[in-house]
């Protein structure tokens, strides 16, 4: 499965798991919260630090 396909299959349980322990929670009310949640979901689905250049 490709990375893009894996991200497309993100579901509510994935989001809930990604936001556990985060300072943001649902419902998201600001653009900053949306961005933080998005980044947390990407980290959870792809692995923290995925794609970083060393």
What pLDDT, on a 0 to 100 scale, did the predictor assign at position 20? 93
pTM higher than 0.95: no
What pLDDT, on a 0 to 100 scale, did the predictor assign at position 54? 46
pLDDT in tens, 10-49: 999 999 999 999 999 999 999 999 999 999 999 999 886 5
What pLDDT, on a 0 to 100 scale, did the predictor assign at position 6? 85
| SS3 state at 28 | coil
What pLDDT, on a 0 to 100 scale, did the predictor assign at position 47? 86
Which residues does 37 contact at the CB level (< 8 Å), separation at least 6? 15, 18, 19, 22, 24, 28
Which residues does 43 contact at the CB level (< 8 Å), separation at least 6? 18, 49, 50
Largest CA distance in the chain: 35
């Amino acid at each position: 499965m490709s990375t893009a396909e894996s991200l497309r299959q993100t579901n509510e349980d994935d989001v809930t798991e990604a936001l556990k322990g985060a300072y943001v929670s649902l419902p998201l009310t600001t653009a900053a919260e949306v961005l933080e949640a998005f980044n947390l979901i990407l980290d959870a689905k792809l692995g923290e630090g995925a794609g970083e250049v060393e």
